[in-house]
Structure 1
Amino acid sequence: MTKDFSSLAPSFNACRCEHYAVVSLSGADAATFLHGQVSNDIEHLGFNEWTLAAYCNPKG
């Protein structure tokens, strides 16, 4: 934990996730589209829920 976040401890944890990305989609078919593109169940996520998923190339 860095010095910048020490005043929030122990109720807050932070780490650098430079190899991750946040994706935001909108529209009526956004969840269905993303569900077909990534490796995790996207269609059953609730409002403000998140999950880790991989976007694989055609070889998997």
Structure 2
Amino acid sequence: MPQGDKSSYTDKQKREARHIEQGYEQRGVGKNEAERRAWATVNKESGGGRKSGSGRKAAGRSS
């Protein structure tokens, strides 16, 4: 998958990123920086794109 390809993200993750990006743009952050920050936030909260499998640990948790 090439860098920047968002096809592996769920629709919910894409909606969240758009919403976060709009918030940054309203605060005066440039378009490219707002998009970068939005996807970084989505990745931090959800652990990245679509993940398969039952029994996956919750994002951000380690044992």
| TM score, norm. by length of structure 2 | 0.22
Larger radius of gyration: 1
More helix by share: 2
| TM score, norm. by length of structure 1 | 0.23
Which of the pair has the greater relative contact order for Cα pairs under 8 Å at 6+ separation? Answer: 2
